[in-house]
Amino acid sequence: MIVDDLKMKARYFSCLTPYTDDIVLLEACWGEILTSYSDQRRGYHTLAHLQHFSQQLDLCKHNLSDYSTVYLAMIYHDIVYFMMDGTNEAKSALVAVDHLGRLNYPSHLIGNCVEMILATKAHAENRDTNINYFIDADMSILGADNASYARYATGIRKEYGDSIYFDAGRTQVLRSFLAMEKIFKTDLFYEKYEKQARLNIQREINDLIR
Question: How many angstroms separate the Cα of 40 from the Cα of each of 86, 177, 188?
Answer: 20, 28, 34
The answer on pLDDT for 86 being more than 80 is: yes
Residue 75: which domain range? 5-209
Percentage of the chain beyond pLDDT 90 is 94
pLDDT range class, residue 94, cuts 50, 70, 90: very high
pLDDT tens per residue across span 171-196: 999 999 999 999 999 999 999 999 99
Tell me the one-letter amino acid at 65.
S
Averaged pLDDT of the chain = 96
Determine the Cα–Cα distance for residues 14 and 17; give it in Å rounded to an integer.
6
Tell me the one-letter amino acid at 95.
V
Tell me, yes or no, if the pTM score tops 0.85: yes
pLDDT range class, residue 210, cuts 50, 70, 90: confident
Contact 128, 185 (CB under 8 A): no
The answer on pLDDT for 156 being more than 90 is: yes
Residue 158 is part of a domain; what is its CATH number? 1.10.1300.10
pLDDT tens per residue across span 106-116: 999 999 999 99
DSSP state of 123: -
Number of domains in the chain: 1
pLDDT tens per residue across span 27-56: 999 999 999 999 999 999 999 999 999 999
Residue 40: the pLDDT is: 95
Strands (E), 103-191: none
Residue 195: the pLDDT is: 98
pLDDT range class, residue 84, cuts 50, 70, 90: confident
Write b or e for each residue in 105-135: b if 16 or more Cβ atoms lie within 10 A of its Cβ, otherwise e.
Answer: beeebbebbbbbbbbbeebebbeeebbbbbb
Residue 103: the pLDDT is: 98
